[in-house]
Amino acid sequence: MVSSQPLEFGHDDRRRIYEYVERHGAVAPDDARSELRIDPSGFRHHVAILKRDGRLEATDGTLRVVLDAGAEEEYVADDLEFHVRPARQEDLSGIVGAIRQVAEEKTYIEAESVADEIDHEEALLRHNELESRMFFVATVDEDVVGWVHLHAPELEKLSHTAELTVGVLEEYRGHGLGSHLLSRGLEWAGSRGYERVYQSVPSSNDDAIAFLEAHDWEIEAVREDHYKLNGHYVDEVMLAIEL
């Protein structure tokens, strides 16, 4: 389970290195060392321990936080070949673009807020003492065409819950991408010890509500007139699933 207890590192410089990498997403080692003003031998020593402990990894010449999320999966449906995999820092702009394109329908307010948040941060994936944020993407020819996003506060009273958004570009719907993304996201949440996952959508988003209910989500509450879309008040429908 994702713990609400403080992350333990055993050395202040080790914590500083982890936090710097976590905050920036993907960092060249020399840039991190220079910015943190740690001597080269000490920096290499602490990075080696962070790698050994499964905190950091080196990929494409950069340091990144390790988030164990499984391997890439390949699917073929109706002659469409697509892949579902854990997102990488390099996917940030593709994810933002996909979310914004779906949000243009004005029926996915929570996802639009996610796009705004990650577009203003350097790191796509997060795991610190305050929050965890994970993305999986569906790709066609390496282009991001869908996503599932999970966000969980690292607060003891809420550490069993996570919030989710999921979406697929309109031209790729009807091929099972959304179902595979949703399944992958919930599988990850369950493996991390989360017990309940939530999602909120406007009541005008009939397709999203029907999709979630078809995958065993249940409506838990409705907040009347919570959104104002195109000058009209629209209810918020809050759905959840037990893992």
For the record, the structure tokens of 207 come out as 């397709």
What is the percent of the chain with per-residue pLDDT over 90, rounded to a whole number?
75
Please state, in angstroms and rounded to a whole number, the distance separating the CA atoms of residues 216 and 212: 7
Tell me the per-residue pLDDT of 158-214, one tens digit each, with 9 for 90 and over: 568 899 999 999 999 999 999 999 999 999 999 988 999 999 999 988 999 999 999
- Total-model pTM: 0.89
Tell me the per-residue pLDDT of 118-163, one tens digit each, with 9 for 90 and over: 999 889 999 888 888 999 999 999 999 999 999 987 655 556 889 9
Compute CA distances 73 → 5, 84, 86, whole Å.
Answer: 33, 5, 10
Is the pLDDT confidence value at 5 over 70? no
Please state, in angstroms and rounded to a whole number, the distance separating the CA atoms of residues 215 and 136: 18
Q: Which of 155, 134, 227, 241 is nearest to 197 (CA)?
A: 241
